[in-house]
Chains A and B, each alone.
Chain A
Amino acid sequence: MKNRFNQTGMIFLHTLRRDWLKLLIWTVALSLFAGGFAKSLYEMYGKDPAGLVTMYETMKNPAMIAMLGPTLATAKTYSIGAMYAQEMILFTALVFAIVSIMHVISRTRKEEDDGITELIRSFQVGRLANTTAIVLEMFLLHVVIIAFSTILLQVQNIPGLSFSSNLLYSASLGAQGFLWAMIALIFVQLAAGAGGARGLSFLTIGFFYILRMGTDMSAPDASWFNPLGWSYLVNVYVSDDWFPIVIAFVVSIVFLVISYMLEQARDMGAGYLPERSGRDHAKERLLSLPGLVLRLQKTFIISWLFSLFIAGAMYGSIFGDMDDFVSDNEIMKQMFLHNANYTIQEQFMSVLFVILSLLTTIFIIGSLMKLMNEEKKGRWDQLYATKISRAKFYWYHVIMTFLLGVIGQFAAILGLYLAQRSVMDTPLSLWEVSKSGIIWLPAIFFFIGILAVLIGWLPRFTVVIWGYLIFAFFISYFGQMMDIPEFVTKLDVFSYIPKVPVEEWKWGAIILIKLIALLLIVIGFIGYKKRDLVSE
C-alpha cells in the first residue's frame, strides 16, 4: 500500500514550487471575490432597513433566484449578511468550482496526455503520488482561502457580521472548491483525455446549476441532494448551519476514495469511458476557410452569445423593483436620478450598456485574436501554401468579427429586453432598448480597428489591446466617481458615445468613429499583407 504513495511528499513540494505564483494569485483573487464586496454592499443597502426590505422583494423575483439562488431568511431576518450571502454565495461557489476543475485537470490528466506523467512514473514514484499531491495542494489552498476570506470579512467590521458566521460563509465556499476538485478527479479517471474530463466536469456543474433553478423554486428540499445546494443551504448569517459543510466534506472524501480506486485499476493514459471516435471524413461545410474558422470558434461563439444574453437578462430582471428600490436609497438616487425627464429604468439602462458593450468587446477581441494565435501556433502555414490569399485570411476574420460584434450586442439587448418585459408593468419596447445598445457598436468596432493595426504591424504585441480594454473598463466604471483628468478620459473611445436615451443620439461622433475604425482596419491590412508570418 505504501508503494502507491511513494514520494508523495516530494511531488507535493515540487507541485508547490511549480504553482506557487498561481496559488498566490488565486488566494488573493478568490478571497477578495468571496469577502471583498461586503463593505460596499453594506454602504449601499445595509444601512437602511427599508433598503433591505426592498432588496428582499427584489431577490424573491424568480429570475434572481434562478441566477443567484434562494435565501432561507424571511423579510424580518433578511439582514445585511443574509443579503450578502444570497447575492454572493452561489455565484462565488461556481467561480471556486471552475478554478478547481481547471487546475486539477491540468495537473493530472493533462500531464498524463502530454507524457510528463510517464517520465515521472519511471522514477520511484507511486501510482497515486501525483494525485495525492494535487489533493493536498487543493486542500491547503482552500484552507488558506477560508482563512483569508474570513479575516477579510472580519476587518471590514460590518455591524451584524459575526466572526462565526464569516467563518461559516468562507468555509462553505472553500468546501465547494474542494468538493468540485474531487468531482473533477473522478472524471479525470473516467474520461479518455483532459479535454473529455474538462467537458464532463463542466457538464456536471451546468446540470446541477440548472437542476437547482427548478428545485429552488418548486421543491427547496431537493437542493439537499445537489452539491451546489450545499453552498447556500448553510443559511449563513441567518441560522448558521454547519451540516451542509460536513456533507460536502464527507462526500469529497468518498469521491477521493472512488477516484483512487479507479486510478489504481486503470492503465496510464487510458480511461473508462469509450473514446468517441470522430468523423473519418469532413462534412462539406467545414471545407472552406470560413467553414473552418467558424468550426474552430464554434464553442467560443456559442458560449459567449449565451453569456451576453444572460448578462443582459440579469440586468433586465431587476428593472421591475427598481422604482421602490431607488426611491428608498440615497446613494442609488444620486447615481441614477439625474434627470427627471426619464424613468429610472431608462437612466439605468443608458449606463448599463457601457458594461454590456465592454463585455461584447471582450468577446470580439477574443475572436479576432484567434487569427493571430493560430498563426503563432503554426497552423496557418499549410493553408498559406494553398491558393488562399492573405487578403482572404484577413478579411474573413475581420468581417466575421464585425458580425459577431453586432450579434453579440443584440444577444445582450435581447436578454435585457425579454427580462425587463417579464418584470415590468409598462416595459420598454424592443426598439427603445436596441437604440440604447446599438449606439455603442462604433466603439466596439474601434477596438477591432486597433487590434487590426496591431495584427498587421506589431504581431508580437497584440496583447496590448487587452491593456487598452482594461483602461476603458476602468474609466467607464470609475470615471465618474474619481477625479480623472479630462484628457485621460478622452483616450477612452467609450467616452465619446452618447448614453442613449438620456443623452442625445449623435450621428457625427458615431460616423466619425466608424470611419476611423475602418481606416485602422485598412492600415492593418497593408501591414498584414507584407509581413512575415510569425511563430512562437
Chain B
Amino acid sequence: MIIAEIKGLQKNYKSTPALKNVTMELNSGEVLGFIGPNGAGKSTTIRILLGIIKSSGGTAKIFGKDVWKDSIEIHKQLAYVPGDVNLWPNLTGGEIIDLFMRLQGTKNNGRRDELIQKFQLDPKKKARTYSKGNRQKVALIAALASNAELYIFDEPTSGLDPLMEAVFQEEVEKLKGQGKSILLSSHILSEVERLCDRVAIIRQGEVIETGTLEELRHLTRYQYRITTKENPVGLKQVSGVHDLVINGNQAVFQADSDRIDAILEAIVPYHVVKLASVPPTLEALFMRHYTGK
C-alpha cells in the first residue's frame, strides 16, 4: 500500500523555483530516507506535505488524500518533527510535550515518561533555557510517544549528541517493527544506512534518484583492482571501463555494472592472478549524486 505519493511537485517562491520536480513514493511500513545537500528542497517538500505551504504544481497525496485540501484528516494520523524546533520560551518542556501530544490526539503517559527518561530531558526547565538539541528532544518525545501511522522527521538529529542519536535510531527501529511508515530527511549517512529501506535523493529541487541502497549502488560503478601475468593493455578498448590506470601488471578501473561480463572476458587472456572489487562507499554514492558527476 502506498502511504504517500508525490508526483511532479513544484514550488516557486516569487518566480525562483525551490522545487522543480519532486516525485517519490512512500510505501506502508517502510522508512524512506530523504537526502540531499543543503537548500535542495527537503524542508520545502515536507512543509508542502504538511499543508503548511501550498505547492505551485504537481500532486501530493498522503493516505490517498490531497495534502492541501484534506490536511486535517491526514494530520489525525501523522506526527512531525521540524528541522528547526521553535518553542514558547516561557513554557516548560514538560508542558509543551503534553500540549503537543494532546493536540496530536495521543494519550500515553507511560510511553511519554519512558521517552523523557531515555532522552534525558529535564521537563521542568523553561524552553528558553534549552539548547537546540533539547528543543529537538521535546519535539521528538512528543512525536515518538504519539500513535500515528506516518512519521515525518526533518533532520531530527542535527542537534543531538551521538548517544541521543543512537536512542533516536533505536526508537525509529521500534516504530518500523510496528509497521509504521516513516519519512526521514537526514544528513547522517550511517543513520540512513541503518534505518532506511529506500532513499530518495534530491538535488536543486529535483528528485534525481530513488531506490534501495543496493539499487543505487548498482547504478554506480564498482572499482576493480586486478593483477595479471601480462600487461592488460586490451582493457583500453573495452567499453564500460572508466578511469583506467595500468601500472605494469596491475590495473585499477571503474566498471559499469552491466558490462562486467564483457570486461571479464577481455581480461581472461592476460591470466588473472588477483582480482578485487570494492563496492562504492555511501559517501562516494552521495558525493556523486550531490555534485552531479
Q: Does A254 have its Cβ within 8 Å of any Cβ on chain B?
A: no
Asked if A277 is at the interface (CB within 8 A of a chain B CB), the reply is yes
From 165 to 193 in chain B, residues with beta carbon under 8 angstroms from any chain A beta carbon are none
How many chain A residues touch B (Cβ–Cβ < 8 Å)?
32
Q: Does A333 contact B (CB under 8 A)?
A: no
- Assembled-state Cα–Cα distance A319/B104 (Å): 55
Contact yes or no, A281 B94, CB < 8 A: yes
A22 interface contact, C-beta 8 A: no
On chain A, the residues within 8 Å of B72 by CB distance are 387-389
B118 to A: closest C-beta gap in Å:
16
Q: Are B86 and A278 in touch, CB under 8 angstroms?
A: no
Residue A289 contacts which of B85, B103, B128 (CB distance < 8 angstroms)?
B103
Least distance between A6 CB and chain B CB atoms (Å)? 29
B84 in contact with A288 (CB, 8 Å): no
| Cβ-defined contact, B92 with A286, below 8 A | no
CA of A530 to CA of B123, assembled, Å = 36
List the B residue with the shortest CB-CB distance to A298: B90
Minimum CB–CB distance for A406 against chain B, Å: 27
Contact B75 A386 (CB under 8 A): yes
Stretch at the interface among B51-59, B225-233, B283-291: B51-59
Q: Please give the distance in Å from A55's CB to the nearest CB on chain B.
A: 44
Task: Mark contacts of B143-184 with chain A using CB atoms, 8 A cut-off: 1 yes-contact digit, 0 otherwise.
Answer: 000000000100000000000000000000000000000000
Q: Considering only CB atoms, which chain B residue lies closest to A278 in the complex?
A: B92
Q: If the complex has contacts A282-B94, A384-B51, A533-B52, are A287 and B87 also in contact, measured as CB distance less than 8 A?
A: no
Q: In the bound complex, do residue A286 and residue B129 qualify as a contact, i.e. CB atoms below 8 Å apart?
A: no
Task: Please determine whether B53 and A279 come into contact, CB atoms closer than 8 angstroms.
Answer: no
Interface string of A497-536 (1 = CB under 8 A from B): 0000000000000000000000000000000001111000
Given the contacts A193-B129, A287-B99, A532-B53, A279 and B92 also touching, CB distance less than 8 Å: yes
The main secondary structure of chain A at its interface with chain B is loop
Tell me which residues across on chain A come within 8 A of B100, comparing CB atoms. Answer: 382, 386
The answer to whether the Cβ of A195 comes within 8 Å of any Cβ in the partner chain is yes
CA distance A288 to B128 in the complex (A): 21
Question: In the complex, what distance in Å separates the CA atom of A377 from the CA atom of B89?
Answer: 11
**In the complex, what residues of B have CB within 8 A of residue A531's CB?**
54
Using known A-B contacts A385-B50, A386-B75, A387-B72, determine if residue A280 contacts B102 with beta carbons closer than 8 Å: no
A383 at the interface (CB under 8 A from B): yes
State A279–B82 Cα separation when bound (angstroms): 24
Closest to A289 in B: B103
For residue A160, which residues in chain B have a CB less than 8 angstroms away from its CB? none
Neighbouring B residues of A386 by C-beta, 8 Å = 75, 100, 103-105
CB of B126 within 8 Å of the partner chain: yes
CA distance A292 to B71 in the complex (A): 22
Say whether A381 faces chain B, with CB atoms less than 8 Å apart: yes
A49 within 8 A of B: no
Residues of B within 8 A of A195 (CB): 89-90, 126, 128
Measured CA separation A278–B53 after assembly (Å): 34
Asked whether B53 lies within 8 Å of A296 as measured between CB atoms, the reply is: no
**Interchain CB contact under 8 A, B86 and A282:** no
Pairwise interchain contact A277-B75, C-beta atoms closer than 8 A: no
CA distance A282 to B92 in the complex (A): 8
- B102-129 residues with Cβ-Cβ distance < 8 A to A are 102-105, 122-126, 128-129
- Return the chain A residue nearest B89 by Cβ: A195
Contact with B along A108-147 (1 / 0, CB 8 A): 0000010000000000000000000000000000000000
Most chain B CB within 10 A, of A193, A389, A532, is at A532
Decide yes or no whether B25 CB sits under 8 A from chain A.
no
B22 neighbours in A (Cβ, 8 Å): none
- How far apart are A269's CB and chain B's nearest CB, in angstroms? 10
Which among B78, B85, B99 is the interface contact of A282 at CB below 8 angstroms? B99
- Which of B52, B75, B91 meets A381, CB within 8 Å? B52
Q: Which of B95, B105, B152 meets A387, CB within 8 Å? A: B105
Q: Which of A113, A195, A531 has the most CB of B within 10 A?
A: A195
* A385 (CB) vs chain B CBs: closest residue: B80
A287-307 interface bits toward B, Cβ cutoff 8 Å, 1 = contact, 0 = none: 111001001100000000000
7 A-B residue pairs with CB within 8 Å: A295-B91, A377-B86, A384-B52, A385-B75, A386-B75, A531-B54, A533-B53
Q: Which residues of A contact B (CB under 8 A)?
A: 113, 193, 195, 277-282, 286-289, 292, 295-296, 377-379, 381-389, 530-533
Which 6 A-B residue pairs are closest in the complex by CB-CB distance?
A278-B92, A282-B98, A385-B80, A532-B53, A277-B124, A282-B95
B residues adjacent to A (C-beta < 8 A): 47, 50-54, 71-72, 75-76, 78-80, 82, 84-92, 94-96, 98-100, 102-105, 122-126, 128-129, 139, 152
